[in-house]
Amino acid sequence: MDVQEKTLRKQDMGFSRKDYEFLTEIGLSSSNLGCFVNGTWKGSGPTISTVNPANNQKIAEVIEGSIQDYEEGMQACSEAAKIWMQVPAPKRGDIVRQIGDALRSKLLQLGRLVSLEMGKILPEGIGEVQEIIDMCDFAVGLSRQLNGSIIPSERPNHMMLEMWNPLGIVGVITAFNFPCAVLGWNACIALVCGNCVVWKGALTTPLVTIAMTKLVAGVLEKNNLPSAIFTSFCGGAEIGEAIAKDRRIHLVSFTGSSKVGLKVQQTVNERFGKCLLELSGNNAIIVMDDADIPLAVRSVLFAAVGTAGQRCTTCRRLLVHENVYQTVVDQLLAVYKQVKIGDPLEKGTLLGPLHTPTSRKNFEKGIEIIKSQGGKILTGGGIIESEGNFVQPTIVEISPNVDVVKEELFAPVLYVMKFKTLNEAIEINNSVPQGLSSSIFTRKPEYIFKWIGPQGSDTGIVNVNIPTNGAEIGGAFGGEKATGGGREAGSDSWKQYMRRSTCTINYGNELPLAQGINFG
């Protein structure tokens, strides 16, 4: 423990509320250093307070990092990368397995922290941490399957093969809505692929960043590995900009808005780095007239109300066939009335607060714009007067052609609209700039295969008879168009975290040239 950390510990007055004391079990205190640099906790940037969105009261203080802290961390990380990439991949997989075990031992505490600091309900908070554990398990198996290819050569006594090697350092910039799961999607894969990880956590969820880092750091220390294999920073835009500009970072994974993501991509492209973007979504569910309506209604409820509408995969548009439109809307209005709104840590709560007071103001502005563009509020549409950032879950009847429907309002607002044919519904689904997730409810094979085919949905996640959200880790996660085109988590997403070399080996004594060229 360094001098700065010892001083903070001595000055620690404890948490202001008894129900925050569980945070000590995951290494947190009322005042925390926000950077893990070369095995040391430090912070020479501003001191911020992190707050509980349910009451906007302070949880703890965090001292953020500075550019000086960043540079020190990157120098150590660059040296650690030389060591880590030489560790055999299955051995790297075993380290990630141990990280998964460390997360399992603190699953409930970490899940409770996610719920407390982000605002999502407790089952979702625990589920988010479980998702990282699942990613660790996936990555362990992957560490023995980073396979290249043997390619037949047209030249005698020649062999062609593909080699996959680590990039070196991967930068991960995550958002508040999934303050640790998105790290897991990236870091678990990056680590087994032989890369060091530099993580900038979300500005408003620094305690999650610190607690996660402490668990990872403990595993590295126990195995006598360089601590700089995993480096993390709590901080503002200047840290994110430094990551985007840094030529030592070969891949930058960014999760956030399309507007900021475009700037990150332009900055990284200027230095010919690689960029992995997970940006905005504007996801639709289509309900055909042959659908299982109760199943569809339950799915829409979870997709539209879960995480208070703050998932990138939240259902924002509901397209219903005119023959069943009123039935679906009536059933949906009935279940919305049963949604329990309140403290996300309380049992039975389905809708917690929005993450910040600014989010709540954006909800209010969004409702005014919706009304000005002809939207009819069927239920909700208002804020809930309280200390927290609570709003009413809202359903709006609106035209698919108005401007506001093309944008992502990060709140529990669902647009409902009618259609007559599947082709019309697909056209509406594809008419927005974003392309993350979509789903159709139908039992007809001809509808299903049209939907998932070349003339169907243009999103990266195309579902049938399930919600737009709640993706499994085994598939590649990501979207098209203004969602950024990146893919994380499962399938062959690992290839983005490595560099591919095509190798031709001549084991003979002659020099035949490809394409039959005779050169002298």
Query: In sequence order, what are the residues at sequence separation of 6 or more whose Cβ sits closer than 8 angstroms to the Cβ of residue 432?
Result: 282, 317, 405, 406
Q: What is the DSSP letter of 517?
A: -
Is residue 293 within 8 A of residue 262, CB to CB? The reply is no
CA neighbours within 13 Å on the CB side: how many for 355? 19
Say how far residue 403 (Cα) sits from the centre of its chain.
Answer: 27
Strand order in the sheet with 413-419: 376-379, 394-397, 413-419, 315-321, 283-287, 437-441, 461-464
Is residue 46 within 8 A of residue 170, CB to CB? The reply is no
Judging by DSSP bridges, how do beta strands 196-200 and 230-233 pair with one another? parallel
Query: In sequence order, what are the residues at sequence separation of 6 or more whose Cβ sits closer than 8 angstroms to the Cβ of residue 53?
Result: 118, 119, 352, 353, 354, 355, 356, 388, 389
Which segments of 307-365 are extended strands (E)? 315-321
In order of 46, 506, 518, 519, the CA distances from 515 in angstroms are 63, 16, 9, 12
SS (H, E, C) 243-290: HHHCCCCCEEEEECCHHHHHHHHHHHHHCCCEEEEECCCCEEEEECCC
CA neighbours within 13 Å on the CB side: how many for 114? 30
Q: Which residues are catalytic?
A: 278
Is residue 229 within 8 A of residue 113, CB to CB? The reply is no
Instruction: List for the chain the helix, strand, coil content (%; round to 5).
Output: 40, 20, 35
For 438-504, the DSSP string reads EEEE---HHHHHHHHSTTS--SSEEEESS-SS---TTSEE--EETT-S--EESTTGGGGGEEEEEEE
